[in-house]
Structure 1
Amino acid sequence: MLKDYQIGSFFDEMMKDSDQPKAHYHRFHQLLHQFSIEQLKEKNETAQLSFLRQGITFTVYHDTVGTERTMPFDFIPIILPSEKWQKIEKGIKQRVKALNMFLEDVYGEQKIVEDGVIPRDLIEQNPYYYKEQASGYSIPHDNHIFLAGIDLIRDEHGEYRVLEDNLRNPSGMSYVFQNRYVMRQVYPELFFKHSIRTLEQQLSELHAALISHVPKNSKNPHHPCAVLLTPGAYNSAYYDHVFLAQQMGIELVEGRDLVVEEDVVYMKTIRGLKRIDIIYRRIDDDFLDPEAFRPDSALGVKGLLRAYKKGNVAILNGIGNGVADDKAMYAYVPKMIEYYLGESPIIPNVETYFLRDADQLDYVLEHLEELVVKNVGASGGYDMLIGPHASAEEIEIFREKIIENPKQYIAQPTIKLSRAPSFQSDRFYPCHVDLRIFVMSGEDSHVLPGGLSRVALKEGSLVVNSSQGGGGKDTWVLQEGGDGHA
């Protein structure tokens, strides 16, 4: 099956060498050999059709024209032994706890700034810092991060590192459940021969975390009414919104379905107005309320912020979370963990050079051809230099941009992302992978077992984003005692 499979100089999730799987993949590797390439090809087509039939799509926009696509699925799972997972779970909880404490602090007393741990201008000049809109009142559980999506990678030594924190509107949770559903339906022979942590109760956990955010002035604290606020069907993550609202048993609403009267939020229904206590919003801060943010927003609800400030409604995730998850602040998260929790980070960052520091700037300018340079305000791969793949001319253009505005950029070493086998186009070949872990927080924190394994299906590509040809894999966390070692 994998006779021509090349591991190369990368850490491979599944294979020790081209013949031998790792201990926790041994059973899967054996089962794989019961199929012919033709059978696997047929199953692969069945899996893709299953996504299409269920309407599991996302939208890619080019020149304002939207194209709906299904997320490509790859059937070789990422398998995590239980002891490896326990360390990840602990490390992710630690990180999200510190990030939440930072948000509570930065919209409050700003002790971390007063103590000189984080430069003041890094916060105050951040475009996602909404001091006026998010300061000066308390929120349920002092919790700003109802749902976090933390992206992990493994380096060439197999060590996990955090690549990115997503604390605003992390998407992709629905794909975790759909990848599992397809795996059970299409590959039952592989699935049922393993002892895997189940996802069965996870959406109940999400719902429990959601409704624990009862605002202080709720008229119905034991049965609060929650809704999911979506920008609508044209949003690229709309399937995610539909799935989560449906599974949690809450109404999916758009801005026009809600109205604020006397600082209370109501949903319009055929029986009249119904009071809303909790809004899980999938709309960016800027569009939430034309009265408090962008006056041209047609997606939000006029007066929503007034209701929020008075404690009549809870808004999740919190307003202004973007100040904690931008690329410049990322470099300071290990310091936040040490400052707020008095602990060392369990999962380290990717090493990051801060170009506001003269020594680090000099080092980066001398080694541009070896490094990845990112604009702290950009996302989706824009305004980014991948030194080893860049031409001399591109490097010089970037050198000038950095010298002109060093605060706008960070640099990181090029990491050899781990790879795993994928089966596409009738053959197996190695693809780079990462893992988005979802953390739900209410009265306490809970980590979804597994997460969304994203895979760069274009051969040689490092881009796992679905909009640029990336796909998904199921992620199995093995039950204790049912596994080998990574």
Structure 2
Amino acid sequence: MHFNEMFDADSMPREPYKSYHDWYGRQDPSRLVAKSRDAEAIFRRTGITFAVYGQDDSSERLIPFDIVPRILSGREWRRLTQGIEQRVTAINAFLDDIYHKQEILRAGRIPRELIEKNAAFLPQMIGVRPPGGVYTHIIGVDIVRTGPDEFFVLEDNARTPSGVSYMLENRETMMQMFPELFHKIRVQPVNNYPKLLRQSLAAVAPRHCDGRPRIAVLTPGIYNSAFYEHAYLADQMGVELVESSDLRVIDGRVSMRTTKGYEAIDVLYRRVDDDYLDPLSFRPDSALGVPGIMDVFRAGNIAIANAPGTGIADDKAIYSYMPEIVEFYTGRKPLLENVPTWRCSEPDSLNYVLDNLEHLVVKEVHGSGGYGMLVGPTATKRERAEFGKKLRKNASNYIAQPTLALSTVPILVKKGIAPRHVDLRPFVLVSDRIQIIPGGLTRVALKQGSLVVNSSQGGGTKDTWVLED
């Protein structure tokens, strides 16, 4: 049985949805269908698209958008944010520790080889402390729900989390199409995110900055799947969008080409992966990074958000140790629980996973976007057998989790509304304080019965409302 976020067991609207349900009951269904088409036109006109890699038709696609909002009460949101803040605090403390004293390893709470043999761990970061002591400036924490007060963290996105532009465009589109709803229902705003992001980035600028720090967004370029978001955020923050060809190291600073010559940058919000960030420190064939930027970073002359090496914190094998990590650095049990996880690198766990593939979801430890995973209950016997061969060949590359009874929220279909499974990605800003944007990106599985919400796998998005008390 799946928890329905809109209706209770008696098919009555739950408290957060009552006002919306009253409004919906007075609407002409044909008007809502027309509004749904209008939303699609807005997204197409705005250019809100994404690329799907590895497919023959990998051209830009429109992000499917559903016009029925996902609604959370203020009480539900407060419970979530307390757990998220605790988790984010622990993640930053963990990163500082493993690149310095490694106390958690010496205490035996995490196996040393899990860190030292992990591709996401960067030896180049050992002994390096970023400006302000912040490693993960922007974090996306993926949350799933199974009951009225049952929330679980599905994964942490501590490298370069994406999707915030869709959160902002979803809200802007809803306010444009249904202004009467926002007069009727008190929804906490999200449109100040670009302002908060800029303030948060400025707060971690190197100490030598006096006055207004110069901030830029580094993009791999127009062919990146999230390029729309890079350009959108740079525009909304009022900062420059740059590629590697616009940057060079001059006199120990990273400088940006302008009409007045090269000018130094203080904070770089990079959307380029670690491997490509500096060809002198990582991949020498990278044309996406800036030669020598790591030397500038190590000298404390630029803040890079997120800092290199943060990927170790969202590795899915490390995720399985997050309860221990949270308790080790905060002294308290996690307020938000993990989804139970089997580490396939452990022989007993591997045997269990192989014997129960039809009931489990198996993921690559470095995977994202729904790629490289097996959803056992919906896979064929042949698909499970083929995946089992991959597991045996490279067990340490995978973790497995139970198939949760994810909550459902309504989407608009031809006959009205119908329940579909969702997750939630709240966005967190970390600088001299932690700020959690009220809402986040709700991703929805548009196919009936599907548990895969990623847009690259046929999912869509919807606006997320957090109600004022």
The match for 2:373 is 384
Distance in 2 separating the partners of 1:359 and 1:118? 18
1:79 lines up with 2:71 in the alignment: yes
The match for 1:139 is 130
Alignment of 1:90-105 (within 5 A): 90-105=82-97
Candidates 100, 104, 113, aligned match of 1:121: 113
CA drift at 1:30: 0.8
TM-score by length of 1: 0.92
The match for 1:160 is 151
CA contact 2:406–2:421 (8 Å) conserved in 1 = yes
The match for 1:180 is 171
Distance in 2 separating the partners of 1:146 and 1:372? 30
CA drift at 1:382: 3.7
1:180-215 CA distances to partner (integer Å, 9 max, x unpaired)? 111111012223210111224332221111011112
For residue 30 of structure 1, what is the amino acid of its counterpart?
Answer: D
CA drift at 1:36: 1.3
* Secondary structure at the counterpart of residue 181 of structure 2: helix
Alignment of 1:376-455 (within 5 A): 376-425=365-414, 427-455=416-444
The match for 1:233 is 222
CA contact 2:136–2:430 (8 Å) conserved in 1 = yes
Distance in 2 separating the partners of 1:63 and 1:475? 30
The match for 2:44 is 52
1:212 lines up with 2:212 in the alignment: no
1:342-370 CA distances to partner (integer Å, 9 max, x unpaired)? 11111101011223444434433433322
1:369-407 CA distances to partner (integer Å, 9 max, x unpaired)? 222222323333344332222333443444444444433
CA contact 2:344–2:399 (8 Å) conserved in 1 = yes
- The answer to which of 305-314 and 57-66 deviates more is 57-66
- The answer to which of 197-206 and 109-118 deviates more is 197-206
For residue 205 of structure 1, what is the amino acid of its counterpart?
Answer: L
1:196 lines up with 2:190 in the alignment: no
1:459 lines up with 2:451 in the alignment: no
Distance in 1 separating the partners of 2:60 and 2:375? 29
CA drift at 1:16: 1.3
1:448-474 CA distances to partner (integer Å, 9 max, x unpaired)? 011111111122222211122211111
1:271 lines up with 2:260 in the alignment: yes
For residue 81 of structure 1, what is the amino acid of its counterpart?
Answer: S
Distance in 1 separating the partners of 2:422 and 2:92? 28
Q: Indicate how the Cα distance of structure 1 residues 49 and 15 shifts in structure 2: closer, same or farther if over 3 A, else same.
A: same
Candidates 341, 352, 359, aligned match of 1:352: 341
For residue 88 of structure 1, what is the amino acid of its counterpart?
Answer: L
CA drift at 1:332: 0.5
The match for 1:149 is 140
Q: Indicate how the Cα distance of structure 1 residues 61 and 364 shifts in structure 2: closer, same or farther if over 3 A, else same.
A: closer
- The answer to which of 196-205 and 26-35 deviates more is 196-205
1:58-84 CA distances to partner (integer Å, 9 max, x unpaired)? 223355764222212111111111111
Distance in 1 separating the partners of 2:452 and 2:355? 26
The match for 1:27 is 19
The match for 2:352 is 363
Q: Indicate how the Cα distance of structure 1 residues 426 and 232 shifts in structure 2: closer, same or farther if over 3 A, else same.
A: farther
1:283 lines up with 2:272 in the alignment: yes
CA contact 1:74–1:424 (8 Å) conserved in 2 = no
1:321 lines up with 2:313 in the alignment: no
CA contact 1:148–1:170 (8 Å) conserved in 2 = yes
* Secondary structure at the counterpart of residue 184 of structure 2: coil
1:113-148 CA distances to partner (integer Å, 9 max, x unpaired)? 11101001111111111112x122221221101100
For residue 141 of structure 1, what is the amino acid of its counterpart?
Answer: G
CA contact 1:158–1:418 (8 Å) conserved in 2 = no
Distance in 1 separating the partners of 2:292 and 2:26? 61
Distance in 1 separating the partners of 2:119 and 2:398? 15
1:296 lines up with 2:285 in the alignment: yes
Q: CA RMSD in A?
A: 1.8
CA drift at 1:339: 0.5
Distance in 1 separating the partners of 2:119 and 2:310? 11
Candidates 50, 53, 61, aligned match of 1:61: 53
CA contact 2:216–2:267 (8 Å) conserved in 1 = yes
CA contact 2:193–2:437 (8 Å) conserved in 1 = yes
* Secondary structure at the counterpart of residue 228 of structure 1: strand
1:266-293 CA distances to partner (integer Å, 9 max, x unpaired)? 1111111111111110111111111111
Q: Indicate how the Cα distance of structure 1 residues 63 and 359 shifts in structure 2: closer, same or farther if over 3 A, else same.
A: closer
For residue 384 of structure 1, what is the amino acid of its counterpart?
Answer: M
CA contact 1:328–1:376 (8 Å) conserved in 2 = yes
CA contact 1:227–1:251 (8 Å) conserved in 2 = yes
CA drift at 1:157: 6.2
Q: Indicate how the Cα distance of structure 1 residues 286 and 433 shifts in structure 2: closer, same or farther if over 3 A, else same.
A: same
Q: Indicate how the Cα distance of structure 1 residues 298 and 401 shifts in structure 2: closer, same or farther if over 3 A, else same.
A: closer
Share of identical aligned residues, percent? 46
Q: Indicate how the Cα distance of structure 1 residues 398 and 63 shifts in structure 2: closer, same or farther if over 3 A, else same.
A: closer
Distance in 1 separating the partners of 2:452 and 2:270? 28
